[in-house]
Structure 1
């Protein structure tokens, strides 16, 4: 059985690719290290965003595992425009996967890229992999494997958050591990 631990980054100061973790987020990164202390991990792959890398760095150092960067794990861009009703626009993309706003990426396009990452991991020799990504992209991945996962579930994600994907007998199951 192959396992992928899908981690949403810790609490950050903002949304830009260079946003740092808050003081609380830095403590959460240590909590993540502790959470995984008894779990065998073979590989760590992260979004290129600073908040994702910093979230997993304490664990990577402890395990002496190089963090691989994969741009396909970067946060989904809803739009390059600043919409006052962005929350409603995001909700609409959970209902219409082909909906795309100016300069943005549809849910379908974003899902395709993260599913490519997951499939490549399941087809690799690694048994236990951590991927570190962002809330919206994580939600789209979980919805891909569980059609009932929706906008309200996205709203209930925490920073950090962890879901476990298990691949066995050509079937993928998901389970929330972070409480």
Structure 2
């Protein structure tokens, strides 16, 4: 049975130190409408999201068009890079992509975050087999999930993502058969 997962990296957000409550920016809300338009052509059955406000707001219009509530999945939240904000984000993030076992103080290694993301994805595949499911999430965890299947989805790939971005992953059972970018 074919299941399609539409991973949606959240739209642009207004920076606040509150990771969980950070909202979309004006540009982000505008782009979220485009996300909804693009996904309206895909016969979506369910909408799942990370608990972060910016991911929920990015896929909210999709859920409203289906007259459904968004299903919150904690395990699709962004990877924790470190307990405290880092001084040189680019250096810190590139280092964890070089060594999948590396974790900074209080943060998750790529292996740990990837395992969490794959577990959440496998639950979606099991519970929504044969359906089209939108998953509102974050760039790093999304690419770590994709990397599990193909190592070409790496730091450079992550670094080139748009905000928002949409990737359709097609599965036959639990085997990934195709990846298509929906965002243009």
Helix, strand or coil at the partner of 1:62: helix
Unaligned runs of 5+ in 2: none
> Which ranges in structure 1 are unaligned for 5 or more consecutive residues?
none
Q: Which residue of 1 aligns with 2:165?
A: 161
Which residue is equivalent to 1:46? 49
Structure 1 moving runs of 4+ over 4 Å: none
State whether structure 2 residue 48 is matched by structure 1 residue 59.
Answer: no
2:14 is the alignment partner of 1:10: no
Change (3 A) 1:24 1:9: same
Is the aligned partner of 1:176 residue 2:181?
Answer: yes
Contact residue 3 and residue 173 of structure 2 kept, 8 A: no
TM-score, structure 2 length as denominator?
0.92
Per-residue CA deviations over 1:10-44 (Å, capped at 9, x if unaligned) read 11012621111111111111111111112111111
1:20–1:50 CA contact under 8 A, matched in 2: yes
For 1:54 and 1:169, the matched residues in 2 are separated by 30
Partner SS, residue 98 of structure 1: coil
The alignment of Structure 1 onto Structure 2 pairs a total of residues equal to 179
Q: Distance in 2 between matches of 1:125 and 1:137?
A: 20
Deviation at 1:169, TM superposition (A): 5.8
**Distance in 2 separating the partners of 1:24 and 1:103:** 32
Residue of structure 2 aligned with 1:35, choices 34, 38, 42: 38
What CA distance in whole angstroms lies between the structure 1 residues aligned with 2:72 and 2:175?
A: 27
Please show how residues 1-179 of structure 1 align to structure 2 within 5 Å. 1-14=2-15, 16-126=19-129, 127-168=131-172, 170-172=174-176, 173-179=178-184
Q: What's the TM-score, normalizing by structure 1?
A: 0.94
> Do 1:145 and 1:174's aligned partners in 2 also have CA atoms closer than 8 Å?
no
Kept after mapping to 1: 8 A contact 2:7/2:136: yes
